[in-house]
Structure 1
Amino acid sequence: MAAAARWGRWAPIVGVLLLALLMLPFAPAPASAATPARSPLSSASSAVFLLSGDVYPVGHYYVTMNIGDPAKPYFLDVDTGSDLTWLQCDAPCQSCNKVPHPWYRPTKNKLVPCANSLCTALHSGLSSNNKCASQQQCDYQIKYTDKASSLGVLVTDSFSLLLRNKSNVRPSLSFGCGYDQQVGKNGAAQATTDGLLGLGRGSVSLLSQLKQQGITKNVLGHCLSTSGGGFLFFGDDMVPTSRVTWVPMVKSSSGNYYSPGSATLYFDRRSLGITPMEVVFDSGSTYTYFSAQPYQAIVSAIKGGLSKSLKQVTDPSLPLCWKGQKAFKSVFDVKKDFKSLQLIIGKNAAMEIPPENYLVVTKNGNVCLGILDGSAAKLKFNIIGDITMQDQMVIYDNERAQLGWIRGSCSRSPKSIMSSFP
């Protein structure tokens, strides 16, 4: 999942619970909202967005989305680990963060009714307390593992998208109007984004809605730069035609996540001797999280090969850090002292994880391990987060049920970036 909390980001979503008895600040809608009309486009295309942010110190990558009529810009945290897109919302707001733009202001005719299929999908398979407080609106409450939460109601509004075929489209898409957020120690804290862009596998995901309306295929990809920024795309006409490592997408035992199934960890081409572990790809997680056994194996392997010039030191940014003889300015100053990891998925699909894909240099000039102990964060599965996905295009192909990646620089414009991928 996403935004700011433990070590810089919310942990993955653990559930969506309906608050059935809550009386919302909205008055009942006068009529049921209609299902958005199918796009008249004769063929699907791709939408491309530039990204801002980084792994450190921002802690996430985010995109600007233009929403409403007239369209207004909002910064949304890109999260492939959850389905629901939501904005901090003046409905009126009961508890919201200070955000970069004015809170989204809905109108009553934008409410999604309880009987809408997206509301049903959002609530299905969850707690037994899943009845709408009012048939005129669809309430939601999302809770995250770090005890952060978003409470609100589903609304529908237009999104302004520029497609690669030069078409400007304004589909009506459903998302959360969050009027009660609990983030960190103080709900009034400053946030770097206005909300969250949910790109998971569920039908309420923005990507699924675009597919349903015939605007783009149910494929997305992102390219996160180690130097910050990058790009995001919806649709399949930016997917490279060769050299992509593809693996089947499997149903995760931990939820509706993007998972290639089991993976084995190697350090400097040597097996760490641990049991294969299930992993999920989650752009909503800043760092990579492994359960206790693989995490401890990685820490032992890294420590065993370190130069004596590196001394372990306490740094508030991350749990395990080292200092050198002088302050480091970037990971590239120190990467020679560390070996690469390899993640072997299935029989022979390999994701190379060089030091710059698991290390962070902090503002204190220390180098820190960006792989964290998932058991300490009370996670029940292993997450490949942003730090490990940097400088490679990662593709989530829901049409063919496969995940792919191909390494290349993500630090330029989308057009020039594409020249580095076949």
Structure 2
Amino acid sequence: MAGYSSHSSTLFLLLLVVVSGWGGLSKCEAFGTFGFDVHHRFSDPVKGILAVDELPEKGSVNYYAVMAHRDRLIRGRRLASLEQQTPLTALTFLNGNDTYRIEVLGFLHYANVSVGTPALSFLVALDTGSDLFWLPCDCTSCVHGLKSSTGQIDFNIYSTNTSSTASKVPCNNTLCARQTQCPSPNSNCPYQVRYLSNGTSSTGILVEDLLHLTSEDKQSKAVNAPITFGCGQVQTGSFLDGAAPNGLFGLGMADISVPSMLSKAGLASNSFSMCFGHDGIGRISFGDKGSANQSETPFNLRQTHPAYNVSISQISVGGNVADLEFSAIFDSGTSFTYLNDPAYTLISESFNTLALEERHSSDSGLPFEYCYDLSPNNKSFKYPIVSLTMKGGEKFLVNDPVLVISMDSGDIYCLGVVKSEDVNIIGQNFMTGYRIVFDREKMVLGWKASDCFSRDEFNSLPVSPPKSKAFPPAISVNPEATAIPTPGNGSPQLNPLTLALVIFLFPVLIFS
């Protein structure tokens, strides 16, 4: 019997996929709404702030085509291998280890990080697909805030002139990759990260300052970590258009990434974890090596572009197993999953063969090719279960492969996979419901089912962490405009008024 998942679809409700072993079926039930009052980037209050006036009319079919284009923003990366370090106490951000998936800012996971003296907080996107951590800094081109129906939401802007612990990185520093472009060894080290999206880039100089962390033990000891990051003086393209407007936190393998610097300084072991909750709330922990009973698969380390790349040997759709070997990168900077052929065709056509609903017309302009019409007032539907077999034989069940979209003609659901022209990406939708461990000491990817809040599953701070003295970037100005969702079950039902960017944060060339 083919394996199916059952999905509940109703306006204004959130969705949760719950796997059930009965009859090979999985079931999804509808729960109460857990929303955040953050304004959509295409909404009227935001227009004029993030240069969105030229974008498609909200609710139009072109809207989704734009989102798919955003997910192809940034391709390629240059990463480096790292030394192994002794495991230490896990660390997280001083403001807490909670991460939040924010629709208005691309359906990526964000966290509040505090930097400098006195500490300022920044709402940064967490991206395992890039290396450099950069903040808007003494900038001539950056986003200073958002408008909402209740007022202005201001972002903090970092400045080396206002932090007493800041220093500029000279060109003779080992982390300066553009030394050949420096007029002298003591000159400020320049950086430029360029992205494949209509001139999208971040440009500035490297600086060093304190990143304020806390240990994840009972003492919750404060840790001030000296780190090198980008003082982003000029942002262009998509960074002015809603993608990581207040900074990007690179979590890649290169020496310039924060996990690498924490490990080299002996502050945390060379591993970290991210948890992706069904409700959009997650966790991040530096130095976390996971649990003994987690599933694991080795990284494929390439000499030119080492990344969080793994090998997949089998695909199962609805219980039908097919042998297919391909590699894919686990990337928190991508909202949905991108696959090229033959993996894309195998999954999508197998899914289509087993889908019970009528396929939605292909001329809708949606970036998702395989969508299905839901009858009016349909409270639940079944779809084929998707799972991947990783190198080594461990199974990776995809908890959340579909998304519900409200169209003018009625609700539809789509397989959340987009055809890629080159690289295979396992995006956030496939990682939902898991604690993912990026262990760079053992060079393995680990995963374990988690709700991101159970203490026996996750080495974490209390759900309500101590208040930080750092000045939050948005909630201090207008708490209601940036309300954070409360812990609960479900994932958002998407519609043209709430679905935001589909970001694909891959740098083309770091420090080019």
- Give how far 1:401 is off: 1.3
Matched AA of 2:436: V
Q: Where does 1:213-362 land on structure 2 (aligned, <5 Å)? A: 213-236=265-288, 239-242=290-293, 244-252=294-302, 255-272=305-322, 275-309=324-358, 311-312=360-361, 318-320=367-369, 321-326=371-376, 333-334=380-381, 336=382, 338-354=383-399, 356=400, 358-362=401-405
Conserved? CA contact 1:15–1:143, under 8 Å: no
- 153, 166, 170: which is aligned to 1:113? 170
Which residue pairs with 1:145 in the alignment? 196
SS for the counterpart of 1:208 is: helix
1:272, CA displacement in angstroms?
A: 4.1
Range with greater deviation from structure 2 (276-285 or 187-196): 187-196
Q: Deviations over 1:148-178 (max 9, x none)?
A: 2211211111111111132101111111111
Q: Secondary structure at the match of 2:212?
A: strand
Q: Note if 1:381 corresponds to 2:427.
A: no
For 1:275-299, what per-residue CA distance to the aligned partner results, in whole angstroms no more than 9, with x for missing partners?
4111111111111111132212222
Asked if 2 retains the 8 angstrom alpha-carbon contact of 1:397 and 1:403, the reply is yes
My pick for the range that moved more, 313-322 or 225-234, is 313-322
Kindly state the Cα deviation for residue 213 of structure 1 after the two structures are TM-superposed: 1.2
Equivalent AA in structure 2 for residue 396 of structure 1: F
Q: Structure 2 regions of 5+ residues with no counterpart? A: 1-40, 42-49, 51-65, 79-85, 146-153, 461-512
Q: For 2:227, give the aligned amino acid.
A: L
The separation in 2 between residues aligned to 1:296 and 1:327, in whole angstroms, is 31
Extract structure 1 runs of 4+ deviating beyond 4 A.
Answer: 3-6, 8-13, 54-58, 190-193, 313-317
1:96 correspondence with 2:142 = yes
- What is the 5 A alignment of 1:23-34? none
Change (3 A) 1:43 1:281: closer
Q: 2:455 maps to which residue?
A: 415
Letter in 2 for 1:282: D
Query: Which of 437, 443, 455 lines up with 1:395 in the alignment?
Result: 437
Q: Partner of 2:101 in structure 1?
A: 53
| Structure 1 residue 366, shift from structure 2 partner | 2.7
Would you say the 8 A contact 1:137–1:153 is kept in 2? yes
Distance in structure 1 (CA, Å) of the matches to 2:322 and 2:102: 30
Structure showing greater relative contact order (alpha-carbon pairs closer than 8 Å, 6 or more residues apart): 2
Supply the AA of the counterpart residue of 1:343. L
Q: Name the structure 2 match of 1:368.
A: 414
Q: TM-score, normalised by structure 1?
A: 0.78
Partner Cα separation in structure 1 for residue 278 and residue 456 of structure 2: 16
Q: Aligned residues: percent identity?
A: 25
Per-residue deviation, residues 219-272 of structure 1 (Å, max 9, x unmatched):
1111111211111111136x2222x11112220477121122354323223234
Code of the aligned partner of 2:354: G
Matched, 1:14 2:14: no
> Any conservation in 2 of the 1:225–1:391 contact (CA below 8 Å)?
yes
Give the whole-Å Cα distance in 2 for the aligned partners of 1:327 and 1:254: 52
Deviations 1:21-62 (A, max 9, x none): xxxxxxxxxxxxxxxxxxxxx982112310011579841001
Counterparts of 1:54 and 1:339, CA distance in 2 = 28
Q: Which runs of 5+ in 1 are unaligned?
A: 17-41, 124-128
Aligned CA distance change for structure 1 residues 419 and 372 (closer, same or farther; 3 Å)? same
Aligned in 2, Cα 1:317/1:180: closer, same or farther, shift over 3 Å? Answer: farther
Matched residues in 2 for 1:350 and 1:142: separation?
A: 36
Counting matched residue pairs gives 366
Letter in 2 for 1:388: F
Give the aligned CA root-mean-square deviation in angstroms.
3.1
